[in-house]
């Protein structure tokens, strides 16, 4: 069990990182403005789910295990690559095309000046 001071410090740090503007903010903003509210909301759910998985893995000690064992790291790395390859074969893109033609010109200019 974590001490209350350690839990508070961890929570405040996580809140600070979550509230800071960064690449996730730009990603969600461009998806929302370019493709609508539902697409932006789906992007937010994906980012939050990934953050939750990474945080739980760190809390459970998976980060320390992967850092200390080359075999465990390579196993997870190759399993992830196999999963991505398999999912691309099983679930191909079914005609949903994204184009930048529907995005307003000022947004395009603003987005590309960031990078």
Domain chopping of the chain, boundaries: 1-60, 62-89
Q: What pLDDT was estimated at residue 97?
A: 60
Cβ neighbours around 57 below 10 Å, total: 14
Q: Which two tokens stand for residue 110?
A: 């603003």
38-51 burial by CB neighbour count: b if 16+ within 10 A, else e? ebbeebeeebeeee
If we measure between CA atoms, which residue out of 87, 7, 4 comes closest to residue 55? 7
Q: What pLDDT was estimated at residue 115?
A: 44
What is the rounded CA–CA span in Å between residue 110 and residue 107? 5
Query: Across the 115 residues of the chain, what is the mean pLDDT of every consecutive 10-residue run?
Result: 85 85 86 89 91 88 88 93 86 62 52 49
Predicted TM-score (pTM) of this structure: 0.52
Considering just the CA atoms, what is the radius of gyration of the chain in Å?
A: 19
């Amino acid at each position: 069990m974590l001490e209350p001071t350690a839990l508070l410090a961890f929570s405040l740090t996580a809140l600070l990182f979550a509230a800071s503007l960064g690449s996730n903010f730009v990603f969600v903003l461009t998806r929302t403005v370019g493709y609508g509210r539902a697409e932006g909301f789906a992007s937010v759910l994906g980012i939050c789910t990934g953050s939750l998985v990474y945080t739980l893995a760190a809390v459970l000690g998976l980060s320390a295990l992967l850092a200390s064992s080359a075999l465990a790291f390579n196993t997870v790395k190759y399993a992830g690559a196999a999963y991505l390859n398999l999912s691309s074969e099983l679930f191909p893109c079914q005609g949903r095309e994204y184009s930048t033609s529907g995005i307003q010109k000022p947004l395009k200019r603003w987005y590309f000046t960031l990078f």
